[in-house]
């Protein structure tokens, strides 16, 4: 019996020893499989939003340069056009925006129509001419642009940290010519479209890059509520001609919600690079293109779409350029970015911006 008891104790001890060894081997194995890691500090996700809808207007990825002292910043072309489209001066007296990062709200700001008789305190965004530069004033009207003071939310430390980490802080050089950053546009006059509705169009020649996405902004101004009765949807037809008439394309954008009329604007993005039958297969060279646009007001009936009113805008000319590396790509990629942030160059001096 004593021998039996000793055997059991020896067996139990062996099991305990095997268990300890197993745990040790497991720990060693895991240690070998999981290399030591260092904590990476996340870059703040800075974003500008519409205060009413929460829609993103632009993000820190769209900011090419930011003059902290003077509170002037530069957006890439597409973001600048989106921001301008949000303003809609014939529709709004003012609009509110939010500046946020991953920790929440940094400050509330606004855009104010220059004809507004109301005054506002706090950050007020304004376009510098018709360019990609925007200025943040301390209020409207007549508030100082620069000079941080206590309580001036434009100079929030979290905002500075996000811009610094992103590498977009710079100081504008007063002797430089920034005309290369102007936004070129081809405008039409307001046209009456019945039912107390007027429409006009803006084309942006800088967006007519072969193979890329071109843009036109269609503006609507109506009665007291900005609406056109008995309209279910809009249709836009675009005809584009280049290479001395050898290249032609037709683009149709259908089922545009009628609420765009009350919004005051429809941002039309399109690619006029698919040829019509009988056309040259592609645009062969840079040069002058001709574009015409029609807006159709439609009602849905059982047999299909009924065109209530059609408004044709006469043909306009735009410069057509081949696809090339834009300033925005050059700035975002490679070592040029940091140097550019410190001494912001004119667009014509940026590698890849010359024809």
- Domains of the chain, residue spans: 47-181+326-349, 186-320
The structure tokens listed for 277 are 């039958």
The structure tokens listed for 139 are 């209020």
CA distance 296 to 99: 38
Classified as helix, coil or strand, 241 is: strand
Classified as helix, coil or strand, 101 is: strand
Residues whose CB falls within 8 Å of the CB of residue 40, separated by 6 or more in sequence, listed in order: none
Q: What is the pLDDT of residue 23?
A: 40
Fold assignment, 186-320: Immunoglobulin-like (2.60.40)
Q: What is the pLDDT of residue 37?
A: 44
Q: What is the pLDDT of residue 175?
A: 59
pLDDT per position in the chain (355 positions), as tens?
A: 443 444 444 445 444 444 434 444 343 333 333 334 444 444 448 999 999 999 999 999 999 999 999 999 999 999 999 999 999 999 999 999 999 999 999 999 999 998 888 889 899 999 988 889 999 999 998 765 555 566 899 999 999 999 999 999 998 776 566 666 889 999 999 999 877 899 999 999 999 999 999 999 999 998 555 455 678 999 999 999 999 999 999 999 999 999 999 999 999 999 999 999 999 999 988 899 999 999 999 999 888 889 999 999 999 999 998 765 444 444 444 333 444 444 454 443 333 333 3
Q: What is the pLDDT of residue 298?
A: 94
- What residues does 191 pair with on adjacent strands? 199
CA distance 26 to 39: 25
Q: What angle do CA 99, 105, 107 make, to 5 degrees?
A: 55
The answer to whether the beta carbons of residues 273 and 291 sit under 8 Å apart is no
């Amino acid at each position: 019996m004593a021998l039996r008891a000793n055997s059991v104790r020896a067996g139990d001890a062996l099991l305990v020893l095997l268990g300890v060894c197993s745990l040790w081997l497991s720990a060693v194995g895991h240690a070998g499989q999981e290399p030591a890691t260092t904590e990476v500090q996340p870059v703040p996700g800075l974003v500008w939003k519409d205060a009413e809808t929460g829609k993103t207007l632009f993000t820190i990825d769209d900011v090419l340069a930011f003059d902290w002292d003077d509170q002037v910043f530069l957006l890439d072309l597409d973001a600048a056009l989106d921001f301008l489209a949000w303003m809609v001066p014939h529709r709004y007296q003012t609009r509110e925006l939010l500046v946020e990062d991953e920790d929440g709200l940094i400050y509330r700001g606004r855009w104010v129509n220059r004809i507004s008789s109301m005054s506002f305190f706090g950050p007020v965004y304004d376009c510098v001419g018709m360019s990609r530069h925007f200025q943040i004033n301390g209020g409207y009207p007549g508030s100082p642009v620069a000079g941080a003071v206590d309580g001036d939310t434009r100079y929030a430390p979290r905002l500075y940290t996000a811009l610094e980490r992103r590498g977009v802080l710079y100081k504008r050089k007063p002797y430089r010519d920034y005309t290369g950053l102007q936004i070129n546009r081809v405008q039409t006059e307001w046209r009456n479209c019945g039912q107390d509705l007027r429409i006009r169009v803006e084309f942006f020649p800088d967006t007519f890059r072969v193979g890329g996405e071109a843009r036109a902004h269609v503006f609507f101004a109506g009665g007291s509520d900005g609406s056109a009765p008995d309209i279910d949807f809009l249709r836009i037809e675009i005809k584009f001609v280049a290479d001395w008439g050898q290249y032609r394309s037709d683009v149709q954008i259908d089922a545009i919600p009628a609420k765009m009329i009350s919004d005051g604007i429809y941002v039309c993005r399109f690619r006029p690079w698919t040829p019509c039958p009988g056309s040259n297969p592609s645009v062969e060279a840079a040069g002058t293109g001709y574009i015409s646009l029609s807006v159709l007001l439609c009602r849905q009936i059982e047999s299909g779409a009924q065109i209530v009113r059609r408004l044709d805008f006469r043909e306009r000319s735009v410069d057509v350029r081949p696809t090339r590396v834009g300033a925005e790509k050059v700035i975002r990629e490679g070592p040029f970015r940091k140097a550019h942030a410190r001494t912001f160059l004119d667009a014509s001096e940026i590698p890849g911006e010359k024809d």
